């Protein structure tokens, strides 16, 4: 290799070593290896040499080019690693530091109430089941004995999804209740069945007591001897445990739901003396849930023989019972993401609801 090429390589390698940022490194790469670079310029001189000289200088230039390219790549990797380490160091969070008391997180009342419900029914032997938020027409309506002309199927009450063509797909819907979980369970599990299905549901409604998305829990018991008396006892145990009041009066009012027969709405006793709502024995009643014996058509649609099995079901809004227990006046505030509200109504984290240690932390 000639002295001039050796000098060129030494100069370029020295410049590579001195580069301290990626932009400058790219500029050096262009000035050395680009179309108008120093090494490229030397390559253009090969045409005027004799074959022996061209071969010798060509090999030498290729060695210089390879050495410089290798040095550039190595320097680039080093600078990129340094930049990444600097970024990680700048964004580092010391998780060993204690949380400032004013910044301590709070468990949302819906999450707390959800845990309380699971703890209570878990003690009764219920299993928690889940299902998809996007349902088909069969599981959300048809299997639940809801006829085609029922108002619940109308678009002013229900969120239907759009198909690939942009048109409304009447077969795909955001579930309007967690009852489809009951259907899916009965389709895939042999009786006896004892489940609860908490989850988010969606309806086209919004005011002080309704929101487009809300949480609901439904319960289902299927066996050969389940009856309305068992349903009443189950709900009595639940309301006593949840509101932490002994012997809360229950009132069952005849009602109608397509998926249960007979059906009833359940009220609990309360008192409103002095403008304060108090759950328990009193002169007033407060509706909290709906229930009934599972309709034979629902059992048939789920592949269960109604001549052999029967059962009961119930459902309630999680936000509603949370409002009653914790004195929250407006349903919409559950979804406002207001930290001041959460600090007031929230619960200390890591305190699991338990029937032995207490539901409320």
Helix axes 51-90, 3-18, angle to 10 degrees: 10
B/e letters for 164-181, b = 16+ CB within 10 Å, e = fewer, are eeeeeeeebbbbbbbbbb
The predicted structure's pLDDT at residue 232:
96
User: pLDDT class for 339, splitting at 50, 70, 90?
Assistant: confident
The predicted structure's pLDDT at residue 251:
95
CB 294 within 8 A of CB 288: no
Phi and psi at 289, nearest 5°, equal -160, 170
Helix axes 228-243, 109-123, angle to 10 degrees: 130
pLDDT tens-digit profile of 239-271? Answer: 999 999 989 999 999 999 999 999 999 999 999
pLDDT tens-digit profile of 92-146? Answer: 877 786 766 666 778 899 999 999 999 999 999 999 999 999 999 999 999 999 9
Residue whose token pair is 């109430």: 113
Higher-confidence residue: 235 or 358? 235
Instruction: Please determine, for residue 86, whether its predicted confidence score (pLDDT) is greater than 80.
Output: yes
Instruction: Please determine, for residue 1, whether its predicted confidence score (pLDDT) is greater than 90.
Output: no
Angle CA(200)–CA(201)–CA(203) in degrees, nearest 5?
A: 150
- Dist. CA 213–CA 327, nearest whole Å: 21
User: pLDDT class for 208, splitting at 50, 70, 90?
Assistant: low
Mean pLDDT value across the chain: 87
- Dist. CA 113–CA 129, nearest whole Å: 17
Structure tokens at 27: 């500029």
Element spanning 201, H or E: strand 193-202
Percent of the chain with pLDDT strictly greater than 70: 94
Instruction: Please determine, for residue 209, whether its predicted confidence score (pLDDT) is greater than 70.
Output: no
Per DSSP, the residues of 280-346 read SSSSEEEEEEEEEEEPHHHHHHTT--TTT-EEEEEEEEHHHHHHHHHT---GGGGGS--HHHHHHH-
Instruction: Please determine, for residue 298, whether its predicted confidence score (pLDDT) is greater than 80.
Output: yes
The predicted structure's pLDDT at residue 5:
73
Instruction: Please determine, for residue 224, whether its predicted confidence score (pLDDT) is greater than 90.
Output: yes
CB 177 within 8 A of CB 315: yes
- Dist. CA 318–CA 288, nearest whole Å: 10
pTM assigned to the model = 0.68
Angle CA(29)–CA(32)–CA(33) in degrees, nearest 5?
A: 75
The predicted structure's pLDDT at residue 66:
84
Distances in Å between the Cα of 174 and the Cα atoms of 130, 143, 161, 215, 334 are 15, 16, 7, 13, 20
Instruction: Please determine, for residue 80, whether its predicted confidence score (pLDDT) is greater than 80.
Output: yes
């Amino acid at each position: 290799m000639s002295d001039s090429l050796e000098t060129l390589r030494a100069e370029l390698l020295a410049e590579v070593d001195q580069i301290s940022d990626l932009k400058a490194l790219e500029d050096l790469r262009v000035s050395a290896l680009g179309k108008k670079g120093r090494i490229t310029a030397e390559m253009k001189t090969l045409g005027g040499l004799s074959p022996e000289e061209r071969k010798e200088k060509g090999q030498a230039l290729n060695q210089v080019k390879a050495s410089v390219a290798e040095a550039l790549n190595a320097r680039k990797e080093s600078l990129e690693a340094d930049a990444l380490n600097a970024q990680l160091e700048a964004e580092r969070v010391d998780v060993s530091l204690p949380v400032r008391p004013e910044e301590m997180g709070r468990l949302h009342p819906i999450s707390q109430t959800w845990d309380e419900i699971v703890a209570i029914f878990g003690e009764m032997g219920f299993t928690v089941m889940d299902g998809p938020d996007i349902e088909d027409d069969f599981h959300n309506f048809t299997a639940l004995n809801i006829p085609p002309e029922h108002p619940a199927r109308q678009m002013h009450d229900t969120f239907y999804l759009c198909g690939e063509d942009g048109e409304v797909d009447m077969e795909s819907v955001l579930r309007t209740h967690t009852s489809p979980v009951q259907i899916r369970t009965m389709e895939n599990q042999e009786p006896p069945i004892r489940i609860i299905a908490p989850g988010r549901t969606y309806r086209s409604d919004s005011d002080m007591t309704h929101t487009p998305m809300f949480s609901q829990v439904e319960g289902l018991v299927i066996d050969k001897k389940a009856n309305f008396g068992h349903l009443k006892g189950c709900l009595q145990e639940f309301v006593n445990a949840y509101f932490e009041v002994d012997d809360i009066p229950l009132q069952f009012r005849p009602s109608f739901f397509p998926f249960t027969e007979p059906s009833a709405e359940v009220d609990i006793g309360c008192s409103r003396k002095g403008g304060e709502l108090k759950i328990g024995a009193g002169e007033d009643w407060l509706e909290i849930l709906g229930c009934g014996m599972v309709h034979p058509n629902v059992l048939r649609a789920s592949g269960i023989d109604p001549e052999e099995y029967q059962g009961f079901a119930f459902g309630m809004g999680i936000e509603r019972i949370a409002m009653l227990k914790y004195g929250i006046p407006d349903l919409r505030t559950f979804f406002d993401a207001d930290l001041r509200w959460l600090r007031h109504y929230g619960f200390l984290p890591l305190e699991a609801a338990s029937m032995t240690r207490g539901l409320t932390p």
